[in-house]
Structure 1
Amino acid sequence: MPLRKLAAGFLDFQRDTFAPKRQFFDQLAQKQEPKVAMIACSDSRVDPAILTNSESGDIFMVRNVANLVPPCARDEEKHGISAALEFAVIALEVQHIIVFGHANCGGIKALLTNDPTTAEEHEFIHNWLDIAGEARRRTLIAARNQPLEVQLHKLEREAIKTSLSNLLTFPWIEQRVRDGRLRLHGWHFDLHSGSIDVYVASEDRFLPLTIDLIAELQDG
């Protein structure tokens, strides 16, 4: 009974976490001051707050299919991701934005294989994944003779790079990156190994996460 499990879990949290840390949660109730915003996938297997042992208030979390960031578009359409970014950057003044991708992403696989059922049965998903269409083209050119598993591995990372580029199309992000108030990061979590790789733009490659590497990217 999934709802019963959730309810029991909340009651455990209320007793074991909320009550002993009541002062901390009273402070959180007044305002939030996260330093990090994260664009993550909606995948139930990948919860960045759990993976990073974060506390309430640490991360301003935005989740969607395949952790994609659309390019800036000023029109009359409804832009949920853009609105969340606007709030995180302008109102909360976060210092870091992390695009958090992961292995075995169903959205990325559907994009790569151009699964016709995605377009037929999931029109919103199909249109959304087109954000990473250029990443797919780059992947198919660079890894056209490689097995599907290798192509997926590459596209998951190329999609992160696309989202990082799209973040810079928002003028209030680009300005803050330029003047040093904001830094952009790409992380990729591997469900099999339990490791995270971090995108190093200066080398155009992903390297294993270490404290030294994070310090270098934060200060560099």
Structure 2
Amino acid sequence: MMDFEALIDGYRRFRLGAYREQRERYDQLAQAQAPAVMVIACSDSRVDPTRVFDSGPGELFVLRNIANLVPPVSAISGQSSVAAAVEYAVTGLKVRHIVVFGHARCGGIQAALAGDFDNPVAGKHVHAWMEFIAPARDSVKAAAALSPDIDAQRALEQASVRLSIENLASYPFVAEALKAGRLQLHGVIFDIAEGSLRILDAKAGQYQAVPIDL
């Protein structure tokens, strides 16, 4: 199991390896960042969007939280790390794309379906956060009750990405950038076990696998 000292050892390898090899790039990044893409991903330790997309330093502006959720703007009251990060990405960095990066076997989605945090006393912060997908969760559970062959976990993972994209469009600065053609929203789901990536076709409402020659 990794401990803090292992992290420091990792830093030493980075400093003598990747940092040295890309020194010119890091010198440039020390002056400013200009990523064209923002990724909103899950905090799950098994899923790292920079690894999945094989991106280099400074290429992705990444926000991570439980179940890659974006609350609707109507739910924002006071401070919000999600709203602040999205606002900075769109109005400050002027990213051209925002990608909601979901993944298979998401622990947050699993907990939501199982009702692990339905008791707000047992886990009040997780409970409050996962309430953002409560309507989608309830719809999926109802459908699964009628059709036992439905994969509720997968269905809610997909619904969560769709919902976050819809919620992103509720922010005025996002809506303005979309209308002006300066911004595009995307949804993807990565499967840890298969290594597959599926992209949401917004018009069809379906996820299509990225073809790859193995």
Q: Same fold (TM over 0.5)?
A: yes
Does the CA contact (< 8 Å) of 1:40 and 1:99 recur in 2? yes
Of 31-40 and 103-112, deviating more is 103-112
Which residue does 1:216 correspond to in 2?
Answer: none
CA RMSD of aligned residues (A): 1.9
**58-67 or 9-18, which deviates more:** 9-18
2:25 & 2:117 partners in 1: Cα distance?
49
Q: Aligned residue for 2:50?
A: 49
Q: Bigger shift: 32-41 or 135-144?
A: 135-144
Deviations 1:19-48 (A, max 9, x none): 222111010000000000011000101111
Which residue number in structure 2 is paired with residue 206 of structure 1? Answer: 207
| Alpha-carbon distance change, 118 to 149 in structure 1, aligned in 2, over 3 angstroms | farther
Checking the alignment, whether the CA contact within 8 Å between 2:69 and 2:161 is kept in structure 1 is yes
Q: Aligned to 2:203, what secondary structure does the other structure show?
A: coil
Query: Distance in 2 between the 1:207 and 1:6 partners?
Result: 37
Q: State how 1:94-105 maps to structure 2 within 5 Å.
A: 94-105=95-106
3-state SS, counterpart of residue 108 of structure 1: helix
Which runs of structure 2 are paired with 1:27-42 in the superposition (5 Å)?
A: 27-42=28-43
* Letter of the structure 2 residue corresponding to residue 48 of structure 1: P
TM-score, scaled relative to structure 1: 0.89
Q: Distance in 2 between matches of 1:73 and 1:187?
A: 25
Please list the CA deviations of residues 160-193 of structure 1 after superposition, one character each: whole Å capped at 9, or x if unmatched. Answer: 1010000010011011112211000011011111
Cα 1:10–1:135 shift into 2, 3 Å: same
- Report percent identity of matched pairs: 38
In structure 2, the CA distance between the partners of 1:141 and 1:171, relative to structure 1 (3 Å rule), is same
The structure-2 alpha-carbon separation of the partners of 1:118 and 1:38, relative to structure 1 and needing over 3 Å to count, comes to farther
Q: Judging changes above 3 Å, is the alpha-carbon distance between structure 1 residues 9 and 118 closer, same or farther for their aligned structure 2 residues? A: farther
> Does structure 1 conserve the Cα–Cα contact (< 8 Å) formed by 2:117 and 2:124?
no
Q: Give, in angstroms, the shift of residue 209 of structure 1.
A: 2.0
Per-residue CA deviation, residues 179-208 of structure 1 (Å, 9 max, x unaligned), is: 211000011011111111110011001010
Hey, what's the Cα distance between the residues in 2 that align with 1:75 and 1:135? 19
Partner of 2:173: 172
**Counterpart position of 1:217:** none
Q: Work out the CA distance in 2 between the residues paired with 1:53 and 1:2.
A: 26
- The aligned length equals 211
Aligned partner of 1:113: which letter?
A
Instruction: Please list every run of 5 or more consecutive structure 1 residues that lacks an aligned counterpart in the other structure.
Output: 212-220
The answer (yes or no) to whether the contact 2:117–2:123 under 8 Å persists in 1 is: no
Cα distance in 2 between the residues matched to 1:111 and 1:119? 12
Corresponding letter in the other structure for 2:103:
H
Deviating more after overlay: 105-114 vs 69-78: 69-78
Which ranges in structure 2 are unaligned for 5 or more consecutive residues?
Answer: none
Partner of 2:6: 5
1:12 deviation in Å? 0.9
Q: In 2, Cα distance between the equivalents of 1:140 and 1:76?
A: 29
Distance 1:148 1:43 in 2: 27
Give the alignment of 1:111-126 within 5 angstroms.
111-116=112-117, 119-126=120-127
Question: Comparing both structures, which one devotes a greater share of its residues to helix?
Answer: 1
In the alignment, residue 161 of structure 1 is paired with which amino acid?
A: R
CA contact (8 A) 1:118 1:125 kept: no
Residue 40 of structure 2 contacts residue 63 of structure 2 at CA under 8 Å; is this kept in 1? yes
> Displacement, 1:118?
5.3
